[in-house]
Amino acid sequence: MATTKVVDVIDRAAIILQDASHVRYPEAELLKFFNDAQREVVLHRPDAKMVTADYDCVAGSKQSLPATGLRLIDVVRNKDGRAITQVDRKILDETLPDWHETAASSNKIEHYVYDPAAPKVFYLYPKATADFDIEIVYSEAPADITISNFSTDTQVISVDDVYAGALLDFVLMRAYQKDSEYAGNAQRAQMHYQSFQTSLGMKIQIDTALNPVPSTPDVNAGRM
């Protein structure tokens, strides 16, 4: 849960930029950099802003994420609680060439197919009926933050507090890029972008170390 205020990130950036009075870098401009930073974090770390939601299927096997969705993370279960597992598309293509047209005999979804190359689309087996409910997890694009009064605003960042440092580095990178013609600023911009990337990369390494890769289930057993 985030507790870091957006204005605190902007104020910290202004102090580092030696522009606490916001003469060279107006607060509204730093806020634009901040909104870009949040989108960039979620682009690199889809799990930074995850949504678990009930999803009303459309008729057929092909499904699409809601408008704000960026990338599917998981299809969890049927409405009644029965788990839905991921399966390799090649397995279905080879064993059931007509699987896209297979209707659910018990009105339950068994598997889903997902290709990261098409992150907003996934397929269900058997095919769903209209308005069939399942539970999915997906990454959502953070909405732009708008601030009318920077002195009193209390909005918090849209991602977890662990990303506050990365957000700050991205804001600073954009600010130094603005004045890259001045001595050293291009290097400062590059340094902060590398720090931004490192922060996200280290988070990935820590997550991987703490979360062992699950074993692959036998998707054919008792399914087809």
196 in a structural domain = yes
pLDDT in tens, 45-75: 999 999 999 999 999 999 999 999 999 999 9
The string of pLDDT tens digits covering residues 174-199 is 999 988 777 788 999 999 999 999 99
Domain termination site, one of 84, 112, 140:
140
Same-domain status, 169 and 99? no
What letter represents residue 170's amino acid? Answer: F
One domain, residues 130 and 159: no
Q: Which domain holds residue 146?
A: 6-47+142-210
Number of separate domains in the chain: 2
The residue among 106, 124, 140 that closes a domain is 140
Beta strands 50-56 and 133-140, pairing class:
antiparallel
Domain boundary among 140, 160, 180: 140
The phi, psi pair for 18, rounded to 5°, reads 55, 45
Is 162 within the bounds of a domain? Answer: yes
Enumerate residue ranges in the chain where pLDDT < 50.
206, 209-217, 219, 221-224
pTM over 0.85: no
Q: What is the CA radius of gyration of the chain?
A: 22
